[in-house]
Amino acid sequence: MTDPTDNPEDTGLSRADLLLLLPFVWQLGFAPWANGVEWAPLGLPFGMVWQMAGILFATAVLGLRFMLDARNKEGGA
């Protein structure tokens, strides 16, 4: 059963939804490059630093997506 507030015409992805692909590209697309880096900032392996930076990047992307969604709901309602 569907919720009465659901819009059956709105079934596609928005351009803002494509932002959610960026963390996957960060982690999977650039992994071969990140694994080849010999630099060890603060004595940590670069792969570990890359993963930690990816967490911050994904958090920023999700925050941006949330803000865009909230803005769309305010303008569309």
**Of residues 15, 62, 57, the one with CA closest to residue 34:** 57
Q: What is the dihedral of CA 39, 40, 46, 48, to 10 degrees?
A: 180
- The mean pLDDT value for 1-10 works out to 58
pLDDT of residue 56: 96
User: What's the pTM value of the predicted model, to 2 decimals?
Assistant: 0.70
Q: Where are the domains of the chain?
A: 16-76
Q: Which two tokens stand for residue 67?
A: 């803000």
Section 49-72 average pLDDT = 89
Question: Nearest-5° angle of CA 25, CA 55, CA 65?
Answer: 70
**Which residues lie below 8 Å from residue 16, measured CB to CB, with a gap of 6+?**
65, 68, 69, 72
